[in-house]
Structure 1
Amino acid sequence: MKRYILHTPFSIYHFEAQTWMHSVHKHTYFEIIFVLKGKGIHHINGNTFPYQEGDVFLLGPEDFHFFEIEALTEFSFVRFNESIHKEHPSDKDRPWQPVIRTLLTTSSQSRGSLLVDKQEKQKLHQLLAVLEAESANDQTPYFEIVRDSLMRSMLMILARNLFRETPAKPVLKDSVEAILGYIKQHIYQPENLSIEHLAQTFHYAPAYISLLFKKQTGESLKQYIVKYKIKLIEARLLYSQLSLKEIADEFGYTDESHFCKQFRKYTGTTPTLFRKRD
């Protein structure tokens, strides 16, 4: 399965399409997808949702999706790495921090578009218009401040709609959606992500949950967890000042040596060299 990588903390991809040109794929970043016009079907993590003008989807790292376009569709993809919502010392104890953190670690793909209310859609699309206009002048000294404020507002509106609404439809028993969400929520607690613990949590036999996950995603459960963790660690290395020991502790590694060994196994380089590559 193709994997798309974002090499900058933020980008906007605005385009029209009559036919979807991308095969089913995953990302290493978060993505807010705006449908400005058109209609069709959006396939996300093995689930299908009709889409129309005004719909907004939120995808996280490792979610896989593609579109079936039925009428000429205009999209705007707002792509961002975890660093875009990094916490600054001056932001300590701000009430929006846990809300955005929860939004980005909560599986939202089982309900399709996150917005139903027409006024909420208008608000978010207006913020998108301002964000796109500001991005045209991204070399100005105040761009990052304005961008981060707009992104924070957009994410808070998405969180407000996600957390106050009942899901449009339940997670299917034979879908990995709930497992993906659980992994995202507990990625910093490796003791909760063993095959045995996941099997117990989701009431499957250990062998069956592994087979189910691989059938629907194309990779093993253990491999998915490690890869998802590595992608978060890459963002830490590039966009934070945390030491290797602090990163190892954050992600539950027994020691820095184990952390470095696993990182090198999956990336082909050491954390230190990866941090210096730019």
Structure 2
Amino acid sequence: MIQLNWQDIFIIDRFSTSRWDAVNKGDIYFQILFIEEGSGRITIDHKVTSYKSRDIFVFAKNEVPDIKTHETTTFIIFKFTDLLFSSKVSLPDKQNWLRRSEFILNHPKRKFQEALKNIEDRDLIWRILFFIRKENTAKEQYYLQIIANMVSTILSIIARNVTEKNPEHITPKSTKKNERIDEIYAYIRYNIYDTNLLKISAIAKHFHITSSTLSNYFKKETGNSLHNYILLYKLEIAKDRLLNSDFTVSQIAIQLGFTDESHLTRIFKKYCDATPKQYKDSHVLADE
């Protein structure tokens, strides 16, 4: 393992400003923006939302926020760099960070809006933030492990809020089927690295129905088999890892529950018309 500074992988910024001029660097995988105090508005791709004190937002790599402050605002920013994907980097709780972030960023219900719906969860996150700042300032023994654990907790809380229903909106009866499909999607994405929990019988048990009922329902509502959906989602993660990390094909295969490198290569070629290596090489050439 190579030794890197903590700041090479995970960056904490805190500053107050009346004019936002922060620009995303290309090496930022995603970031969480905490509004400690202040108000204003955030624009992404012509979509605008207001912010206020204690709001929390999550931005993917390709989402560059344009922020206009209405008053001096104190921001806290967690920046997760692309090195989070490096197989050569040892970081406490890194796998948890990856899994939670992928779940949050790729969830079908994710929208450009404030990330927390639950007031108690919001209070909990702000208490955790206080202790993260304290540990990061003091830098006493085991502080990196302690911060990593607290960051994992924050990511888990945000992930939980992605799937929570907004109490301010009453869902029409006509969308109940869509809600159930979204719940199945969420279960799969949350447990995508756990082969046992992705078995049809395990998913059916979670939703208190039989395996055949689940399979038939999913096929009818989506036009796709449950097994095929899980496989395609794993391939999307594999593509992302191939282009944004230095994990080998063998390592990616193990991470996603394939038998071995040849198993992943065979499935990848079947659905993507290229081997993982060919896929990666073609995208590298396209970027040059």
TM-score (norm: length of structure 1): 0.56
Tell me which residue corresponds to 1:132. 133
Is the counterpart of residue 102 in structure 1 residue 103 in structure 2?
A: yes
Is the counterpart of residue 49 in structure 1 residue 49 in structure 2?
A: yes
Tell me which residue corresponds to 1:21. 21
Tell me which residue corresponds to 2:229. none
Tell me which residue corresponds to 1:236. 245
Given the alignment, which residue of 81, 87, 96 partners 2:95?
87
CA displacement at 1:122 relative to structure 2: 1.9
Contact 2:42 2:51 in 1 (8 A): yes
Residue aligned with 1:54, SS: coil
Contact 1:110 1:167 in 2 (8 A): no
Contact 1:23 1:66 in 2 (8 A): no
How many pairs were matched up? 201
Distance 1:235 1:131, change over 3 A: farther
State the percentage of identical aligned residues: 17
Tell me which residue corresponds to 2:122. 121
**Where does the alignment leave 5 or more consecutive residues of structure 1 unmatched?**
1-5, 89-95, 170-181, 189-200, 202-227, 269-278
Distance 1:62 1:232, change over 3 A: farther
CA displacement at 1:160 relative to structure 2: 2.0
- Counterparts of residues 55-204 of structure 1 (less than 5 Å): 55-81=55-81, 82-83=84-85, 86-87=94-95, 101-106=102-107, 110-136=111-137, 142-166=142-166
Task: For residues 86-139 of structure 1, give each alpha carbon's deviation from its aligned partner in whole angstroms, at most 9, with x where no partner exists.
Answer: 438xxxxxxx9966642232266625111244432221111112112222355x
Tell me which residue corresponds to 2:284. 264
CA displacement at 1:43 relative to structure 2: 1.1
Amino acid at match of 1:50: S
Task: For residues 63-103 of structure 1, give each alpha carbon's deviation from its aligned partner in whole angstroms, at most 9, with x where no partner exists.
Answer: 23211111100000011145476438xxxxxxx99666422
Distance 1:157 1:168, change over 3 A: same
Amino acid at match of 1:79: K
CA displacement at 1:168 relative to structure 2: 7.6
Contact 1:27 1:60 in 2 (8 A): no
Task: For residues 131-175 of structure 1, give each alpha carbon's deviation from its aligned partner in whole angstroms, at most 9, with x where no partner exists.
Answer: 12222355x662332122111110111122221133989xxxxxx
Contact 2:104 2:159 in 1 (8 A): yes
Task: For residues 31-63 of structure 1, give each alpha carbon's deviation from its aligned partner in whole angstroms, at most 9, with x where no partner exists.
Answer: 111000110101134311110001000112212
**Where does the alignment leave 5 or more consecutive residues of structure 2 unmatched?**
1-5, 86-90, 170-184, 193-221, 223-236, 254-259, 270-274
Which has more helix, going by share of residues?
Answer: 2
- Between the aligned partners of 1:142 and 1:56, the Cα distance in structure 2 is 27
- Between the aligned partners of 2:34 and 2:239, the Cα distance in structure 1 is 28
- Between the aligned partners of 2:11 and 2:280, the Cα distance in structure 1 is 30
- Between the aligned partners of 2:138 and 2:239, the Cα distance in structure 1 is 33
**Larger Cα-atom Rg:** 2
CA displacement at 1:24 relative to structure 2: 8.6
- Between the aligned partners of 1:135 and 1:237, the Cα distance in structure 2 is 28
Distance 1:37 1:7, change over 3 A: closer
Contact 2:44 2:63 in 1 (8 A): yes
Cα root mean square deviation, aligned: 4.3
Residue aligned with 1:258, SS: helix
- Between the aligned partners of 2:286 and 2:249, the Cα distance in structure 1 is 21
Distance 1:243 1:41, change over 3 A: closer
TM-score (norm: length of structure 2): 0.55
